[in-house]
Structure 1
Amino acid sequence: MRVNVKKTEVVVIVLEWLRENGYLESLQALEHESKVSSVVYGREQKFLRQKVLSGQFIQTLEFIATFRSNQALDFERCCFLITRQRLLEAVYHKDATAKHHLMEEVAKYEHKASREEYSQLCYLVQLPNLTDHPDFYEWLPEQGRHSLFIELSTLLKHVIPQTGRHELVQRMAPGRLNDLLKMSVLHQLHQFKAQYPEVDLPPQLDFSLLTDLSSPDDVSLHRAMAGLIGDVERESQPGNDALVPSEYAIPEDDETGGARWWTDGEKQMDTSLR
């Protein structure tokens, strides 16, 4: 069996991981550099996304205004959402001049906001730091712009063609990159068990993604396995009467420089590795 690793598939998987974990600025940078996107956008929506994510809010509003005559579009709701994002960014960057101006602007569209939305906005502009609010503790302008694009796309769904997920993403389960990495580590552990069947790996032995079980030069592997493999090999040599603990595990150096073995009660075998 041959596995064909395609660059586009790798990029799409990484893009989805970035999207799932909120690394939106990195996602945009990778899309720009690779010319690959996990979402297929129409011409108008691609233009809208570019303007919103780059913070070109005046151009965004001008673009949406071209569809103002369409009765399916709530244009003033779009104005409120865009102005709210601008105001939040002014508060985030502590731009007092812009904040004062935008507070006057957003008040024009109060009737297009829910009572909860507008009350929260009035509270946020009074905070010394936007991130002082628990709902905005990890808020970033890039995240707000991404949310704005989604909200505007919903309002424009009857006006401009909507997006479709990349065909590769449609075939892919959520968290695909994490699953692939876990399977890779488990595969290396299975190979290690096949090479050293005498060794029981205790649950305390926690391999990270940075440990390369297939590489004899991996420093973290040497530290984890120092003494263990040597003891197993010495026991297998003819005429060697040295006592070796019957339950193989990873030795820990004690205060005297010797090795302490895990107790029988500590030794448990992950059945997934057998």
Structure 2
Amino acid sequence: MALNVEVKADEVVRLVIQQLYELGYNESAERLEKESGIQLEAPAVAHFRESILSGNWTTAEGLLPSLRKSDGAGLKESKFLIRRQKFLEALENKDFPRALHVLQHELTPLGIWIDKVHKLSRLMMCSSEEQLRKESHWDGSKGTSRQRLLESLQHYISPERMLAPHRLQTLLLQAMAYQTSRCLEHNTHEAVQSLCRDHQCERTTLAYKTSYTLEGHTDEIWSLAFSNNGEHLVTASKDATAMIWETKTFTRKATLKGHSRPISFCAWSPDDSMILTVGKDHVVKLWSSDGEYLRTFEKHTKEVTACAWLSDGLRFLTASLDGTLYFWTVTGTILQKWTCHEPTDLVVWPDSSKFIVALAHCMLSCFDLETLSSEPLWSVTEDGLVTCLNLSRDGRYMLISLISGPIHLWDLEIRAVIRRYTGHQQDRMVIRSCLGGIDEKFVASGSTDGKVYIWHRYLEQLVHVLEGHKEMVNSVAWHPTHPHMLASASDDRTVRIWGL
């Protein structure tokens, strides 16, 4: 697609001049400046840079008005950053009267970032230079702090007057990142091989062939999960057992027996030392990673649909169709109970500050795990019954599978659907989808037609359809450290491991 933009010749020349200087080709850079009549930067900019790097704060502040962006904003912020550096260097030199003067008569009168001023004032109590550096996250006047100050000031200075360091290199890296983000097959951390041609991966970086077929369950397999370190896989089945598999050879390590009815979901603890299994017998069971039975949690009165660990590995949540959510410790203590309408799935934020639960009347509700309030922080409505929630690693995005229709990707900051993935068959069945691959660039889901579907997360385009299962695929899981490996669980009583 052609872009209706104009590349200004003088900007290109300035970028080339800067790059030549940064590569050490000073004579070539000077010759280009002379030939083009375009200077990399005005003398005032060089003076400003030298003033910052040499600690001549008065001169640096005096030059600021002539370097600001056209809207004139950022003068106070720029002065704050310079005076903060002056304050810290005075403390570093144990010149406490000067530091106090800067704090009271230069920083405070600016009237901005008052919380930062308060934090700076507490640094007056530091008993050593080491403590000062640690608490201020600052490496001293002889470290990189002045260069970092210059980089921070760049935000408030007009790029027409002063280019950010390595600007051409930054643009090239952005171009390469854009190309890889648009490549349907790219699933590796390897960079674009050449700037001289457009990037396009061959079909060798996504899982698309069956590497292993795991057999052992005697009925439909409903759920599976890789351990967080990727060394094991746990599978849960309608046959009321769960199985642990080693992922080096995909041999069975243990069979977990104890449930009296089908197991609907399983989850590894954050440190991979324990496994939770839940199911239609209304109970939650805890197992060691070796398959040893540890404890049963009995409180729900109907099928338990989901469970989720907190990051400390000592607490977890469970959801049941009896309309309750319980907050447990691994020793069996109940910390809180929430009542809501038939929860079907839940996820916990990476920092364990809150959780989201999907309810049977097409509602998503977010609860606070710090206050344990019975009232949700917020609630939103989906287009249908939610069967699966899958949170991105950074906690900002959530993949949602519905009882019918497309899979949705939500941006939780704006609480809205931003992507939709179509092509698979749902047919009012519970099918669990997931994010995966390099930087969670792909979306995978099972389907009632016995196939695994893989979409490009950002382009919403179907990339691969994996065939091999004989019946419906209920759940998929991407390996956490091998972006080319995907596991799928099916009604045909097998698990397939897909690889290159």
Normalising to structure 1: TM-score of the pair?
0.41
Q: Which has the higher contact order (CA 8 A, sep 6+)?
A: 1
Higher fraction of strand:
2
Normalising to structure 2: TM-score of the pair?
0.24
